[in-house]
């Protein structure tokens, strides 16, 4: 896009109050304009196809279709629309989002100036992350450089592999949430994603598959 072109934005989030506040922030800037709002991933795809914005600000957890799946479909359409994930989750969904084609990952608690900077950066073709997320990614890749261990389930994110290890050891969702200092809802979401990726329907099937791959054989977590 040219320097004097207005950045056209679609906001995809299922919380009306958040959309209202984000729209107010964006439209306070002369070079930014919100051309549409979506309440779920399916609406985000439809609006992106019809409006062809420069950027979609995409939440992760939404009804009907989540933001990750919507990102995949939008990127597959090759519409020259960049996706900037804006979410409450400071976890390994960042890796899934980037694999889906997102150009950035921003936390909802970010300051207004940080949000505006991220929007403009992504519109100009850059890839951007919240500071905390960037540190997490650097630590992940640093770990990858210091180990040659084969990952049993490469389709799982690092967090999902960590949770599967604890599932294989027999821990309940509640116990895993307490151990990892995450909410029970976040653990349920991760476990659901793990089941889908492993193509299993029950916890028992997941445990068997994980133990067959060598997980859960160490010392039991307290």
Position 22 scores a pLDDT of 96
pTM of the model: 0.64
Secondary structure (3-state) at 66 = coil
For residues 123 and 30, give the distance between their C-alpha atoms in angstroms, rounded to a whole number.
Answer: 15
- Helix extents (H) in the chain: 16-26, 41-51, 67-76, 93-100, 112-123, 131-145, 158-168, 173-180, 184-198, 203-212
Position 140 scores a pLDDT of 55
- What sign results for the dihedral spanned by CA atoms 42, 51, 94, 175? negative
Fold of the 158-212 domain: Arc Repressor Mutant, subunit A (1.10.10)
For residues 187 and 206, give the distance between their C-alpha atoms in angstroms, rounded to a whole number.
Answer: 15
- Quote the tokens at residue 137: 């990614």
- Which residue matches tokens 């020259």? 80
Q: What is the DSSP letter of 171?
A: -
Position 131 scores a pLDDT of 65
Element spanning 59, H or E? none
| Domain boundaries for CATH 3.40.50.2300 within the chain | 7-135
CATH number of 7-135: 3.40.50.2300
| Domain boundaries for CATH 1.10.10.10 within the chain | 158-212
Angle between helices 93-100 and 131-145 (to 10 degrees): 90
- Quote the tokens at residue 94: 């960042």
Q: What is the DSSP letter of 11?
A: E
Q: What averages of pLDDT result for each successive group of 10 residues across the chain (222 residues)?
A: 81 96 96 97 96 95 91 89 86 78 88 93 88 60 50 82 91 91 90 93 92 75 44
For residues 161 and 158, give the distance between their C-alpha atoms in angstroms, rounded to a whole number.
Answer: 5
For residues 129 and 59, give the distance between their C-alpha atoms in angstroms, rounded to a whole number.
Answer: 15
């Amino acid at each position: 896009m040219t320097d004097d072109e207005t950045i056209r934005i679609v906001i995809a989030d299922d919380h009306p109050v958040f959309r209202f506040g984000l729209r107010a922030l964006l439209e306070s800037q002369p070079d930014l304009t919100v051309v549409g709002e979506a309440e779920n991933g399916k609406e985000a795809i439809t609006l992106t196809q019809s409006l062809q914005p420069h950027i979609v600000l995409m939440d992760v957890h939404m009804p009907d279709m989540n933001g990750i799946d919507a990102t995949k479909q939008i990127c597959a359409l090759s519409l020259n629309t960049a996706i900037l994930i804006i979410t409450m989750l400071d976890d390994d969904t960042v890796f899934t989002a980037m694999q889906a084609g997102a150009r950035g990952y921003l936390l909802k608690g970010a300051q207004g100036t940080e949000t505006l900077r991220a929007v403009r950066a992504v519109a100009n073709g850059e890839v951007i992350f919240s500071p905390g997320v960037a540190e997490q990614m650097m630590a992940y890749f640093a770990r990858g450089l210091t180990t040659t261990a084969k990952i049993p389930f490469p389709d799982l994110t690092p967090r999902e592999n960590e949770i599967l290890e604890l599932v294989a050891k027999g821990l309940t969702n509640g116990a895993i949430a307490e151990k990892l200092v995450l909410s029970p809802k976040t653990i349920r979401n991760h476990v659901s994603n793990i089941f889908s990726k492993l193509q299993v329907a029950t916890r028992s099937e997941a445990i068997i598959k994980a133990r067959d791959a060598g997980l859960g054989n160490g010392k039991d977590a307290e």
